[in-house]
Chain A
Amino acid sequence: MDKTSHARRMHPLSVVFFIGKAIKDLLYPLLVFVVSTLLRGEVSLKWIIGGGGGLAALLLVVAWLQWYRFVYVPTTGGLRVEQGVFVRKKLWLTMDRVQSVDDSAGVLHRLFGLVKLQVETAGGKKPEIELSGITLAAAAEIRDALGLTASSNEADSAPAADEQPELDAAARSDTDASPDRAAASLRLSLPQLLLYSATSGRIGVVLALLGAAYSQLDDWLEQTFDVWDTILLLGSAAGWTWLGLMLLAAAWLLAAAGTIIRDYGFTIELRDERLTIRRGLLERKQVTVPLQRIQAVHLVDNLLRRPLGLVTVQVVTAGYSGKEGQAAMLFPLVKESELARFLQQFAPAYRLPQQWNPLPRRALRSYVAVPTAAASLAAAAIIIWAPAPYSWLSAILPLLTLLEGWMRYRLGAWTVVDDAQQLALRYGSLSRHRVLVPRRRVQWHRLSQTPLQEGRSLATVHVAVASGMLPAVFHIRHLGVDHGAQVRGWLAYRSGGADSDGNA
């Protein structure tokens, strides 16, 4: 890469992205202004055209200036960026400090064959550098400069792969076509995607959104026509049930559609110790996570997927892509029976435990007693204070709590995978969570005991790993104290060894 490093500008289309950003930033003041003028009723066509035109012209000029004044220079082993219309901001990045280089492409990007590139270091501020629209070749050049050549030849093949309809059932294919050690890649097949979307628990989110939207629209609806009258016209209990069911179905469809758009064509690829994840229907997103940065593997299977033996694989990483303290999804859906193989392929340092140490029998009381008592009290209060016929429904509250506590007790477990130097924790009630934490990733650990736990000689184990700005703390409640001490002893660094002896 000896091409002399002279300053470059982004693709001229970036002006559009700058305009978009400016509008986004100005949205609220603009809205306030528009609404207030409308309410004052002094709107004349002249004002609208003049004001709108003036604003548009201003935005265009400012965005163009921003684009013109934004210059980047890929140098050998680094990247320099200068930006700012009046206040010049200069930024140098060297390749050894770069944490990740991610690109994404929206609809507009894809039409023009562009990508948005985000470069990040370990520091706290979100993306250090964001190039809002550059050509694929320019992106490859930057990757070259930052010494990430391996994924650079991937960058131009990524959209090509998009065109190829490789949605057939053969999801699993080891790419040995590429010369440099491409370890493995896996693509979510269409049936899998549909299954994944159908079983995603995001219906709750959609319902909440609908509720919020309704509460916002309520006033307006009341003025136009009386919804409740129309609903009451439907009258009968059957009508109500149908309405409820239809609403649920609609929410479910919406949630599924959202998931499909977000995770369409989910692809994971391991190459040169880096995982590259691509996904998205309208906007292609790409995330690169170095294997080195993975702090823990988190396996989740929710209530709907557990009977089907399907697991979502997530990882906790120490900061990536501006998503602090959030787990990154490694792959949406993996069959339980293929899980071990999947981990071996894409997260070779992690191993599924063969067997688990369950919680002691006395822990059941700790899981069940207090919550059920609280729920009973609440139910009693409802039965006493609420009107008669429906209030009795609340009697199932303690039962549900009891069931939930029992499920928590059944799922709570821990184990140590000695040959992989890993602690494995299992917890959850409706969803089952399994967390694999290598010993050398544990930032701190803690054994805690409430007075109640002390009486039953139980304890809670906490294990913290790094994850961006926030710590990710996993815990198992109501372990036997003896087991707790065992975990603590195993985690304790004795004789300086992360490698050798497991017990202290």
Chain B
Amino acid sequence: MDMDKPSQKIDPGALKAWRVSGMLSAVCYSIAVAVLIWLTVRLDWPIWVWITAVLLAGAGATLEIAVLPAVKYRQWRYAVDDEQIELRHGIIVLKRTTIPMVRVQHVDTKQGPILKRYGLATVTFSTAAGSHEIPALTERTADEIRSRIARLAILSEEEL
């Protein structure tokens, strides 16, 4: 979409973290496929059952390891200023979301084991109409943004 992109990219470490989580799901797929192959042999199921399973698992794994993280990383942009939060993301459908700072009710950061391993965290802001998040920022940036938004949100308190 046109015009000024929000300036900030998310942390490059996100690429690695997403790939690792992709690999984890690939492991899960392989186990499922292995079970299926074993069942096919034991129970004389038709051959296409496991062939489709292998193809699906393969496609899923490549998508999750090679394609999606890169695309997601390339597309993600954000900007936080005193008045609003801007997010630009989306893999096929490009979305530009704007959240006025006065509407932010609370901000929190969260971190799963994989993100933690890479020193990353996800920032979530909640409004009265659902929440939005910026995935995979370095812990420092995440904390900075969180405290900044918290400060700004307090300043601009308004009734709902």
Query: Chain A residues with Cβ under 8 A from B44's Cβ?
Result: none
A318 to B160, CA, bound (A): 8
A449 to B158, CA, bound (A): 32
Cβ-neighbour of B129 out of A444, A450, A485 (below 8 A): A444
Tell whether, in the assembled complex, residue B159 and residue A493 are in contact, meaning their CB atoms are under 8 Å apart. no
Q: Per-position contact with A for B101-112: 1 when CB-CB < 8 Å, else 0?
A: 111000000000
Tell whether, in the assembled complex, residue B129 and residue A440 are in contact, meaning their CB atoms are under 8 Å apart. no
Tell whether, in the assembled complex, residue A444 and residue B103 are in contact, meaning their CB atoms are under 8 Å apart. yes
Q: Identify the stretch in A225-233, A238-246, A265-273, A459-467 within 8 Å (CB) of chain B at 4 or more residues.
A: A459-467
Tell whether, in the assembled complex, residue A448 and residue B98 are in contact, meaning their CB atoms are under 8 Å apart. no
A491 to B96, CA, bound (A): 13
Tell whether, in the assembled complex, residue A450 and residue B92 are in contact, meaning their CB atoms are under 8 Å apart. yes
Cβ-neighbour of A496 out of B127, B132, B156 (below 8 A): B156
Is residue A195 contacting chain B, with contact meaning CB distance below 8 A? no
Query: Chain B residues with Cβ under 8 A from A174's Cβ?
Result: none
Is residue A349 contacting chain B, with contact meaning CB distance below 8 A? no
For chain B, the count of residues having a C-beta within 8 Å of the partner chain is: 27
Is residue B52 contacting chain A, with contact meaning CB distance below 8 A? no
Query: Chain B residues with Cβ under 8 A from A473's Cβ?
Result: 129
Knowing A454-B1, A494-B83, A496-B156, say if A443 contacts B128 (CB, 8 Å): yes
Query: Chain B residues with Cβ under 8 A from A464's Cβ?
Result: 127, 129-130
Query: Chain A residues with Cβ under 8 A from B98's Cβ?
Result: 444-446, 488, 491-492
| Min distance, Cβ B97 to any Cβ of chain A, angstroms | 4
Is residue B21 contacting chain A, with contact meaning CB distance below 8 A? no
Is residue B49 contacting chain A, with contact meaning CB distance below 8 A? no
Query: Chain B residues with Cβ under 8 A from A292's Cβ?
Result: 159
Residue of A nearest to B155 (CB): A496
A201 to B129, CA, bound (A): 29
Tell whether, in the assembled complex, residue B96 and residue A496 are in contact, meaning their CB atoms are under 8 Å apart. no
A451 to B75, CA, bound (A): 14
A411 to B15, CA, bound (A): 43
Tell whether, in the assembled complex, residue A446 and residue B92 are in contact, meaning their CB atoms are under 8 Å apart. no
Tell whether, in the assembled complex, residue A447 and residue B1 are in contact, meaning their CB atoms are under 8 Å apart. yes
Tell whether, in the assembled complex, residue B130 and residue A492 are in contact, meaning their CB atoms are under 8 Å apart. no
Residue of B nearest to A447 (CB): B96
A481 to B156, CA, bound (A): 31
Knowing A318-B160, A485-B3, A493-B84, say if A445 contacts B129 (CB, 8 Å): no
- The A435-458 residues at the B interface (CB cut-off 8 A) are 440, 442-451, 454
| Min distance, Cβ A291 to any Cβ of chain B, angstroms | 12
Query: Chain B residues with Cβ under 8 A from A471's Cβ?
Result: 127-130
Residue of B nearest to A488 (CB): B98
A448 to B132, CA, bound (A): 15
Tell whether, in the assembled complex, residue B129 and residue A448 are in contact, meaning their CB atoms are under 8 Å apart. no
Knowing A318-B160, A447-B96, A494-B83, say if A481 contacts B1 (CB, 8 Å): yes
Cβ-neighbour of A449 out of B3, B84, B93 (below 8 A): B93
Question: Chain A interface residue count: which class?
Answer: 20 to 34
A503 to B61, CA, bound (A): 47
Residue of A nearest to B98 (CB): A445
Tell whether, in the assembled complex, residue A465 and residue B129 are in contact, meaning their CB atoms are under 8 Å apart. yes
Tell whether, in the assembled complex, residue A449 and residue B129 are in contact, meaning their CB atoms are under 8 Å apart. no
Is residue A472 contacting chain B, with contact meaning CB distance below 8 A? yes
Tell whether, in the assembled complex, residue A443 and residue B129 are in contact, meaning their CB atoms are under 8 Å apart. yes
Residue of B nearest to A457 (CB): B2
Knowing A318-B160, A493-B101, say if A443 contacts B83 (CB, 8 Å): no
Cβ-neighbour of B94 out of A454, A467, A491 (below 8 A): A454
Knowing A454-B1, A472-B129, A493-B83, say if A444 contacts B99 (CB, 8 Å): yes
Query: Chain A residues with Cβ under 8 A from B130's Cβ?
Result: 443-444, 464, 471
Residue of B nearest to A446 (CB): B97
Tell whether, in the assembled complex, residue B97 and residue A444 are in contact, meaning their CB atoms are under 8 Å apart. yes
Tell whether, in the assembled complex, residue A448 and residue B100 are in contact, meaning their CB atoms are under 8 Å apart. no
- The B9-39 residues at the A interface (CB cut-off 8 A) are none
A318 to B3, CA, bound (A): 34
Tell whether, in the assembled complex, residue B100 and residue A444 are in contact, meaning their CB atoms are under 8 Å apart. yes
Residue of A nearest to B128 (CB): A466
Query: Chain A residues with Cβ under 8 A from B92's Cβ?
Result: 450-451
Tell whether, in the assembled complex, residue B83 and residue A496 are in contact, meaning their CB atoms are under 8 Å apart. yes
Residue of B nearest to A463 (CB): B129
Tell whether, in the assembled complex, residue A446 and residue B95 are in contact, meaning their CB atoms are under 8 Å apart. yes
A440 to B97, CA, bound (A): 16
| Min distance, Cβ A293 to any Cβ of chain B, angstroms | 8
Query: Chain A residues with Cβ under 8 A from B3's Cβ?
Result: 485
Interface centre among A465, A466, A473 (most CB of B within 10 A): A466
Tell whether, in the assembled complex, residue A466 and residue B84 are in contact, meaning their CB atoms are under 8 Å apart. no
Tell whether, in the assembled complex, residue B2 and residue A485 are in contact, meaning their CB atoms are under 8 Å apart. yes
Tell whether, in the assembled complex, residue A448 and residue B128 are in contact, meaning their CB atoms are under 8 Å apart. no
A141 to B96, CA, bound (A): 51
A252 to B103, CA, bound (A): 45
User: What residues of chain A have their CB less than 8 Å away from a CB belonging to chain B?
Assistant: 292, 318, 440, 442-451, 454, 459, 464-467, 471-473, 481, 485, 488, 491-494, 496
User: What residues of chain B have their CB less than 8 Å away from a CB belonging to chain A?
Assistant: 1-3, 83-84, 90, 92-103, 127-130, 132, 156, 158-160
Please list 17 pairs of residues, one from A and one from B, whose beta carbons are closer than 8 Å in the complex, sorted by A's number: A442-B100, A443-B103, A443-B128, A444-B97, A444-B103, A444-B132, A445-B97, A446-B95, A446-B97, A448-B90, A448-B95, A449-B93, A454-B94, A471-B128, A471-B129, A473-B129, A493-B84
Given contacts A473-B129, A496-B83, 4 further A-B contacts (CB under 8 A): A444-B98, A444-B103, A446-B95, A466-B160
